[in-house]
Amino acid sequence: MRNIIHFETLGCRLNQDESEGAAKRFSDAGFVCSMEGVTSATPVNENVLLCIVNTCTVTAKAEQKARRIIRLLLEKYPLAPVIVTGCYAQLDGPFIEQMEVSRIVILSGNKKELLSDLAEELKSCKTLSKDELRLFIQKKSDAKKENAFSLYTPVFEKHSRASIKIQDGCNNACAFCRIHLARGKSVSLEPEEVLRRVLELEDRGTGEVVFTGVNLSQYSAQDADGKKIDFTQLLEYLLSNTSKIKFRISSFYPQHITERLCNFLADPRIQPSFHLSVQSGSDEILKKMARPYRADDVIKAVELLRRAKNNPFIGCDMIAGFPGESEEDFILTTELCKKVSFSWIHAFPFSPRPGTPAFSMKAQVAPAVKNQRVKVLTSLAVQGKIAYINSCKDQIFPAVCENSRKDRLASTGLSNRASTGLSNRASAMLSNRASTGLSNRALQGSVHAVTSNFLHCKCLLQDGQEIPAPGTIVNVRIKEALLESIKNGGEEECLAEIIL
Give the start-to-end residue ranges of the domains of the chain: 4-143, 396-499
Averaged pLDDT for residues 204-211:
92
pLDDT digits (tens, 9 = 90+) for 263-309: 999 999 999 999 999 999 999 999 999 999 999 999 999 999 999 99
Residue 465 banded pLDDT, cuts 50, 70, 90: confident
Above pLDDT 70, what percent of the chain?
90
- CA separation for the pair 233, 105 (Å, rounded): 41
Query: Which residue would you say has higher pLDDT here, 465 or 314?
Result: 314
CATH of 4-143, one of 3.40.50.1100, 3.40.50.720, 3.40.50.2000, 3.40.50.2300: 3.40.50.2300
Flag the least confident range among 46-60, 189-203, 216-230, 424-438: 424-438
Residue type, 291: R
Q: What are the φ and ψ backbone dihedral angles of 457, each rounded to 5 degrees?
A: -110, 145
Say what the pLDDT of residue 404 is. Answer: 64
- CA separation for the pair 202, 242 (Å, rounded): 8
Residue 249 banded pLDDT, cuts 50, 70, 90: very high
User: pLDDT averaged over the chain?
Assistant: 89
Residue 444 banded pLDDT, cuts 50, 70, 90: low
Strands 162-165, 208-212: pairing kind = parallel
Residue 472 banded pLDDT, cuts 50, 70, 90: confident
pLDDT digits (tens, 9 = 90+) for 44-89: 999 999 999 999 999 999 999 999 999 999 999 999 999 999 999 9
Contact of 61 with 17, CB cutoff 8 Å:
no
If we measure between CA atoms, which residue out of 491, 490, 471, 493 comes closest to residue 482? Answer: 493
Say what the pLDDT of residue 405 is. Answer: 62
Residue 424 banded pLDDT, cuts 50, 70, 90: very low
Which conformational region is residue 363 in: left (phi greater than 0), alpha (psi within -120 to 50 degrees), or beta? left
Say what the pLDDT of residue 145 is. Answer: 61
pLDDT digits (tens, 9 = 90+) for 317-343: 999 999 999 999 999 999 999 999 999
Residue 245 burial by Cβ neighbours in a 10 Å radius (0-12, 13-18, 19+): buried
Averaged pLDDT for residues 126-154:
81
Contact of 53 with 109, CB cutoff 8 Å:
no
